Amino acid sequence: MSLTPIGITVGLVAALFITVAAATVRWTGGGWGLGARGSSRPTTPLGWGPAIRVVWLPAAAEALALTLLAVLWFGSLGHGGWVLVFGLLGAIAGGGDRWLRHRVLGTPGSTELRLFAACLLKYLLAGWLCAWILS
């Protein structure tokens, strides 16, 4: 597999992950302890610029790692079953932290469920992009 489709895929997946992460930071108001006992939700949302500056590096690193896993999957292991593979990865990436935040910090379950669904959808969309470009 050549570097051109890999580079394009990394760029597209990174753009997706940065957008979702910035939207999540804006939605939670930049406060990761949203809904925690004894805290209140910020009244003004964080702007897009500051949100992107906060999330771009970890989101891009996550996108690179996921794309390299996709290159391995589509380049040698198989072309089918990507929905299950990326769905399970999304569930692993978003599930444990969300449950822990709900149980320990007392965050609202509906908020954590929406954030979990956003993470799962993010990984499924990334899998679709990888399957579309790398297959």
Dihedral pair phi/psi, residue 40, rounded to 5° = -120, 155
d(CA 125, CA 40): 33
pLDDT of residue 37: 47
Query: Per-residue pLDDT for the chain (135 aa), expressed as one digit of tens each?
Result: 789 999 999 999 999 999 999 998 888 766 544 444 445 555 567 788 988 998 999 999 999 999 999 999 888 877 778 999 999 999 998 887 788 888 888 888 888 888 899 999 999 999 999 999 998
Q: How many CA atoms lie within 13 A of 106 on its CB side?
A: 6
What is the structure's pLDDT at 76?
84
Which domain does 119 fall in, by range? Answer: 3-134
Total domains, the chain: 1
Enter the pTM of the model. Answer: 0.82
